[in-house]
Structures are given as structure tokens and as C-alpha cells.
Amino acid sequence: MSISRREFLKGLLATSATTMISSSLLVAGKTEAAQETWKVSGSHWGAFRAKIERGTVTTIKALEGDAHPTDMLKGIQGIIYSPSRIRYPMVRYEWYMNRLQANPATRGDNRFIRVTWDQALDLFYEELERVQTQYGPWALHAGQTGWRQTGQMHSCNNHMQRAVSMHGHYIKKIGDYSTGAGQTILPYILGSTEVYAQGTSWPLILEHSKLIVLWANDPAKNLQVGWNCETHESYGYLDQLKQKVAAGETRVISIDPVKTKTQLMLDCEQQYIHPHTDVAMMLAIAYTLYTEELHDQSFLDTYTLGFERFVPYLLGEGEDKTAKTPAWAEAICGVPAARIQELARTMASQRTQLLFGWSIQRQQHGEQPYWMGAVLAAMLGQIGLPGGGVSYAHHYSSIGVPASGAATPGAFPLNPDQGSKREHDKEDFGQYSKTIPVARWVDAILEPGKKIDYNGSTVTLPELKMMVFSGNNPWHHHQDRNRMKQAFQKLETVVAIDFTWTATCRFADIVLPACTQYERNDLDAYGSYSKRGVLAMHKLVDPLYQSRSDFDIMTDLCRRFDRHKEYTRGLDEMEWVEKLYNDCRAANKDTHPMPDFTTFWQQGLVRFEGNTDFVRQGSFREDPEINSLGTPSGFIEIFSRQIARYGYDDCQGHPMWMEKNERSHGGPMSDKHPLWLQSCHPDQRLHSQMCDSEAYRATYSVQGREPIYISPEDAKRYSIQDGDLVRVFNDRGQLLAGARVSDRFPPGVVRIYEGAWYGPMGAEVGSLDTYGDPNTLTQDLGSSKLAQATVANTCQVSIEPFRSKAPRVTSFGGPTEIEA
């Protein structure tokens, strides 16, 4: 349903009376005669106006008020008009012909046949029925989630899960790829996940912090996107910080093997460190604090438990008989002992804010750096003070921007209103666990029935036969492509719902074309955590080709088992958008008055006033008894009796330095594969989203391939010139990438951004990836028995110039269509 011009004008009249409207937001229809309109919408990349000429989006520009729009807005048109768009419902050819007798080795050959929507949805429904009947709910996994496009009504994870739940039960996941290790360990230590919690407000940090440590943290890169529509207000604070650094008022140190975008932007200090050795460095800082009596004993006495059980380990009186001295750490982390001491003394002498990024916990034993970070902050005694203590989230979705305190719109419901169709199989997961740690699903396919430790419990991996993916791209997000290839050969049915032909579609059996967010009406929070307002997401153009909204697709699926009325609750798209708006309006009635829906829809954005400053753990500091933490003891747990009781060798009662199974700079595997591959989050994409945006990709690709960043020293060592094609490989896989030689990178460290589209030369295991997906090389291992989280960053590789004839990139442009 689109808003007609008449309704638009009606809304225009209604708006003039209310004061909440900023008139500049009005989408004037003057040029409509020339078939040109401007519409307001928003995305992970921010709010914008789109110009539509003769039914085509021709211009996207940031909405007024976004003072720091991201360059990625330039990539949006290319998403809508990508040659990779899924045009029709498609079924894998071999599967279509032979179903369960299909030759498993053909999976991934990208040969598909076009079917009608009815055929595709009938097949989807039949397979749900078959798998539930023949096996049980444990054989179906529809619980993987991901970075679906923005919009609260059309949140496609919710649509798929609600619809499939109405049919029957299935395996779900726990945790996520972002912060799997962090969100599991921190509740034991600080009483909450911390990673998704509001952090100390930037104005307080700017006012009080004298030293800010960016530990494995690149906010200037990562704050370009938000979970909801991003406002980019954090960049205003980063600008102020830059001025303070220049004026010598605040010292900022970036502890990172790489010179980050933030470090360059702030022009602040960089402390180089060998990858994955941060815990050693932190221990040596702690050692210095303790032995020089610079630690805050009264804070430790009042607010923490277990310090005395940690000290012997620090001093070398424990089992390992190794004192964690700066000299000991220097040999591991490469940071000079004197520098470690200087840092310890500086931290203790002034207000110090530790700001951790997340990449550092996406490694083997990724729990340890976060735990040790909390211990360090506790020893400094500044937790709960403005501008002091530790944060694990200031690089994410504008956390730290003072929030309005308003409610923002809820989402289309995830759960069914009543039980599933198959009431009888409700709890019948047999011997299997019904939730599994998010990154362990490939293990489940390969080793069904295996029991693994997880966070104090035992998980029995289910025997998966069918998987349904929507709003996520596992053939980007999961590790070790060749292992995935082997696993997928065991699956009977894979359904992928997406708008673009990702590698997940290539390896699926039934592929359903959703439309993009730009082809449907929706609304969103403006500012994920800052809750700066409510944004209208006007449909820009009609769904392209045969694509349909997820809502529409899932309604039609539910029709097949007669639950469609319950699914939609009798409301259509626009009625849902209006309902979600009105529910939000009612919730904000007394504090943040909002105009009626029509007014809101015309004006595009309702802004919320109010800036509430906040100090993380402030109330706990004020009164640790009344405002106790969510830990077992209510205090900060430097030693966790609960974790110690689990008896895990790879995550014990207090933080420890543990060697990794792969590590650069003399660590394990570095003799065979000398380079550390970090697969950080892309500067010019959101994961795999926007990689299919052709013109935009051309602004960063190298000979049509994903760049690999490499130091001038290593480039010379391996006879690589900037712009060369290179083969990157290890024992798990091989890929082609384009070399970018950059002095931001130290010897021994290379980077390929995650989300580069997988483009195998063939379906067979081990084939060369023609574009440069780093997960062709990463390992699929749990961080520890505690979190079982991804260790994407624990990865050693080799590199060589690629001098043969370059194969064509197979990642983009959709399937090979076989005529029926």
C-alpha cells in the first residue's frame, strides 16, 4: 500500500498545527508532475532522502541532522539494482530432479531451475512436514539469526521464525557471533553481558577521563552502522576528543597491532602489540600495579571478591611458577617492559577509561581478555566513576550517546500467539538439546549426538536434516568454508530467503526472493540506544522482479497449514506499521508526546528531546549492597567460584594467559603459516551486505577481488606489489585476493574484511575462492568450554603472488539457470 498524493496533502495540513515537526523534513510533492519525488527512509547506515524518478531511485542523500553520514550511503542504490538480485523462486536443479537421491557432491554447483511461487512454497511446506514427521523437531534448525535490514515491522528473522514456529518446533541458537565469548563470561564477572548495555555517556568521558585506552577498538570505523537506523551522533564526541588530544588535555592510546581508522582520525598514540597476546600485557600491568602498590585496595575490599586468589598467579606462586612481570610479558606481546610499567603508572595516576572492542574476544580463549580487562579496571578502582572503569561497547550502535529515555517501536511478533501446529511434538527433542551455542551448528551436522560442554551444562548436538535461513548469510558468517561444504552435503533440505544471491543461496535447495527494505513500508527507532526518535521508512519503489516482502511470503506459507489469519492477526503491512507506531505513542504519552500516525508518516521523523547522562556501574559504586551486581555474589568477581566449579581446563577460576593453537610472531603454526589473518568488520560494507553493490565495490576492490592489506615489509618479503593478485592459503583453504600494501599494518599481520562474498571455482571441497572470503581460511573451533564462541580471528595463513591466468569471479550475478 502506498500513500497517495491526496493522503499526503491531507497529512500536510494536519502537520502544520503541531510543534514537533521540523518543516525541512516534509517531502514536498511539487516536482511530482515531472515524475520525481523525494522520500524519507533509513537503514543500518543512517536516515536518508531518496529521489525517485520514473520509478527508479536515482539519488540518496543523508537526512538533515546527520552531521556525520557514512560514505556507505553511496552503496545503497547498488543493492536495489544489483545484478545479484534474486529474481524468481528457484530450486536447486539436482534436488528438484532427485530430491533425497540427489548426488550430495552437486550441492554448490549453482545450477538452479525457476519455479512458481506456489511451487516453491508448496515444496517448503512439504519439507517442513516431512522432516517433522519423519524425524522430529530436532532435525530442523531455523534459529540462526543475523543482520536483517532495518525496520521493526519487516524484521525478517521474526517473520521466518514466527511462521515456522506456527508449523512446528525446531532447534534454536544461544549467543551470537559478535560477542559470544564476552556475553558469556561477563555476567559472571560484572553481572551483565555489558556488551549490549548502555555505557557511560560520552560527555562525562570527555569531561573526566584523562587517559582513554582504545583496546582493540576502532569506533570511527564501526560506528558507521547501527542495529537500528544509525544517527552518527557519536562522531560529534569523537571530534571533541580529537580536539582534546590536540590540546594535550586527554591522552588516548590505541592498543592494537594495526593503526586503526580511529587512531589516524584522533591523531593519538598507538601502542603496537602482537596479536592475541593482550592478556599477557594486562597481567604485566596488573603485576606492576600490585608490586608498586598502585592498586586500589579499598576498592577491591569494598566491591570485589577473590583478588587474593588471583594474586598468587600474578606473582608466580601458583602452579605455573611464573611471575607475570613486564619482562615476561614483553617476550610474549612485544611491548617493551618499560612501556608496560609506564602505562601502569599512568593509568593509576589519573582518571582512566578502558574501552574494549569485540574482535579481541573472537579468538581462542576470548573470554580471558575481557575478564582480565575487568580485573585491571577493578585494581585501578575507578569502576562506577564518570570517565573511569571499563566499557565493552563504545564502538557499537552509538552506545555512550546520552539517551532520550523514550520508548521506540516494538517489532512484529517473533513468537506465535498460540502453540505450534504440531502440539504433540512440543517437547519431543529426544536425547538432543533444543538450543545450541550459535557457532556450533556445523559441528551438529557433522557430529550429531556429540556431547559438548557449554557454560556449565552439557549440550547434545542434534542431528540436523533441514535448515532455514532468513536475514542471515551463514556462507559469510560462519568459519571454515570447506568444512561447511562437507557438512552441507549431509543436509537433506536447505531453504534460503534473501533478496540477493549470496553463497548461502548457492548452497541451498529452495531459494525464495524477498524484496529489499526499499520496496516496503516500515518504521524504525532513530538511534538504537540513544532513542533519538521514530523514523518512517517509506517504500521507495515496488518490489523488483518477483520478489515479495517476508511478511507476504510467510503469510502465504502459513496459508498452507491454515494459520495465516493468526499469523497476520488480520492486519496488512500498513496497518501493522500504524499499530506499532500507536503502541509506541501510547507508551510515550506522558513523557514524549508524539503526533498522530498520519502526521508522523508525512513528516518522516519524530524527534525525541532529552539527554540523560549515565555512568556505567555508577549506582553499584554508590551502594554495592542495595545496587548489587547480577553476579552470584553481587560483587565484581575477580575469582569466580562458579566457573572454577565447572572444572574447565580452558577457562578456569580467574583470568589467565593461555597460548593459542595458532598465533603469529613465533607462536604455534607461525613456522608453517607465518601471517596472522584478522578478519575485521569492513569499513565499506555491513558484513556481506553491500558487497553485491557493483559500482561501490569497484571503489575498493583490486582486480575485481577483495583487498588483502599487508605491510610493506611482508610485501617485499613475498615479492608482492600493491595491486597484485595473491593467493592466500593454509591447511583449511585457499583464496584469491588483491594486495593493498599499507604501512598501517605491521609485519606478520594481514587483514581481509569479513563479508567478502564467497565465490568457489567449483562445488568440490578445497576449490579456490575466486573473490576473497576470509572464512575460507578461518578455523571452526569453540573459544572454550565456557562460551563455545567463534574464534574467527585465530587464524594463520601464507601468501604468494598469483601469476597464473586469473579465474573469473564466481561470487556475483546469481545462479546458472537450467531450463525445465
**Positions that interact with ligand MGD (CB under 6 A):** 146-149, 154, 156, 177-178, 216-218, 221-222, 224-225, 255-258, 260, 273, 275-276, 278, 357-360, 362, 395-396, 470-473, 476-477, 497-500, 502, 514, 517, 550, 678-683, 685-689, 754-755, 774-775, 778, 792-793
Closest to ligand MGD by CB, 21 or 494: 494
Determine the interface stretch with Mo ion among 95-103, 174-182, 239-247, 335-343 (rule: CB under 5 A).
174-182
Q: How many CB atoms lie within 10 A of CB 448?
A: 17
Interacting partner of 226 out of ligand MGD, Mo ion, none (Cβ under 5 to 8 A depending on kind): none
Q: CB under 5 to 8 A by kind: which of Mo ion, ligand MGD, none does 208 bind?
A: none
Minimal distance in Å, beta carbon 168 to ligand MGD?
20
User: Between 222 and 652, whose beta carbon lies closer to ligand MGD?
Assistant: 222
* Cβ atoms of 131 and 466 closer than 8 Å: yes
Stretch that binds Mo ion, among 18-26, 177-185, 334-342, 670-678 (CB under 5 A): 177-185
Distance, CA of 695 to CA of 76 (rounded, Å): 10
Min separation Cβ 332 and ligand MGD, Å: 12
Residue nearest to ligand MGD (CB): 146
Q: Residue 224 binds which entry of Mo ion, ligand MGD, none, with Cβ cut-offs from 5 to 8 Å by kind?
A: ligand MGD
Least Cβ distance, residue 730 to ligand MGD (angstroms): 13
Distance CA 765, CA 752 (A): 21
* Nearer Cβ to ligand MGD (273/787): 273
Looking at the Cβ atoms of 588 and 664, the one nearer to ligand MGD is: 664
Cell of 107: 550441492
688 contact, one of Mo ion, ligand MGD, none, CB 5-8 Å limit per kind: ligand MGD
Does 433 help bind Mo ion (rule: CB under 5 A)?
A: no
* Interacting positions 471-510 with Mo ion (CB under 5 A): none
- Residue 699's nearest CA partner among 677, 721, 682 is 682
CA nearest neighbour of 540 among 30, 36, 9, 25? 36
Residue 303: count other Cβ atoms within 10 Å of its Cβ.
20
- Torsional sign, CA 541, 545, 550, 551: positive
Residue among 406 and 680 whose Cβ is closer to ligand MGD:
680
Q: In angstroms, rounded to a whole number, what is the distance separating the alpha carbons of residues 149 and 184?
A: 26
Looking at beta carbons only, is 27 or 675 nearer to ligand MGD?
675
Please give the size of the binding site for Mo ion, defined by CB under 5 A. 1
φ/ψ of 463, rounded to 5, equals -95, 90
Q: DSSP of 208-227, one letter per residue?
A: H-SEEEEES--HHHHTT--S
Q: How far is the CB of 340 from ligand MGD (least distance, A)?
A: 14
455 within 8 A of 787, measured Cβ to Cβ: yes
Applying CB under 5 A, among 15, 149, 178, 701 the residue interacting with Mo ion is 178
For residue 198, with 0-12 CB atoms within 10 Å meaning exposed, 13-18 middle and 19 or more buried, which class applies?
middle
Closest separation in Å from C-beta 175 to Mo ion: 11
Residue 242 or 362: the one with the smaller Cβ distance to ligand MGD is: 362
> Contact, 373 vs 341, CB < 8 A?
no
Nearer to Mo ion among residue 178 and residue 184 (C-beta): 178
Q: Closer CB to ligand MGD, residue 169 or residue 687?
A: 687
Nearest to 790 by CA among 281, 226, 182, 279: 182
What are the grid coordinates assigned to 539, written together?
517504500
The option from Mo ion, ligand MGD, none interacting with 280 (CB < 5 to 8 A, set by class) reads none
558 close to 163: Cβ distance less than 8 angstroms: yes
* Closest residue to bound Mo ion by CB: 178
> What's the one-letter identity of residue 228?
N
- Which partner from the list ligand MGD, Mo ion, none does 276 bind, CB cut-off 5 to 8 Å by kind? ligand MGD
Q: Are 219 and 234 in contact (CB under 8 A)?
A: yes
Distance (Å, rounded) from C-alpha 64 to C-alpha 231?
A: 11
Tally the residues of the chain.
820
Any idea of the CA torsion for 299, 302, 305, 307, to the nearest 10 degrees? 40
Shortest Cβ 477–ligand MGD spacing (Å): 3
Q: How far is the CB of 613 from ligand MGD (least distance, A)?
A: 24
3-class DSSP state of 531 = coil
- 408 makes contact, choosing from ligand MGD, Mo ion, none, with CB < 5 to 8 Å by partner type, with none
What residue 678 binds from Mo ion, ligand MGD, none (CB within 5 to 8 A, per partner kind)? ligand MGD
Q: 81 or 227, CB closer to Mo ion?
A: 227
Which is nearer to ligand MGD, 685 or 697 (by Cβ)? 685
Instruction: Convert 729-774 into a string of H (helix), E (strand) and C (coil).
Output: ECCCCEEEEEEEECCCCCCCEEECCCCCCCCECCCCCCCCECCCCH
794: partner contacted, choices ligand MGD, Mo ion, none (Cβ within 5-8 A by kind): none
Q: How far apart are CA 87 and CA 780, in angstroms?
A: 33
Residues near Mo ion, by CB under 5 A: 178
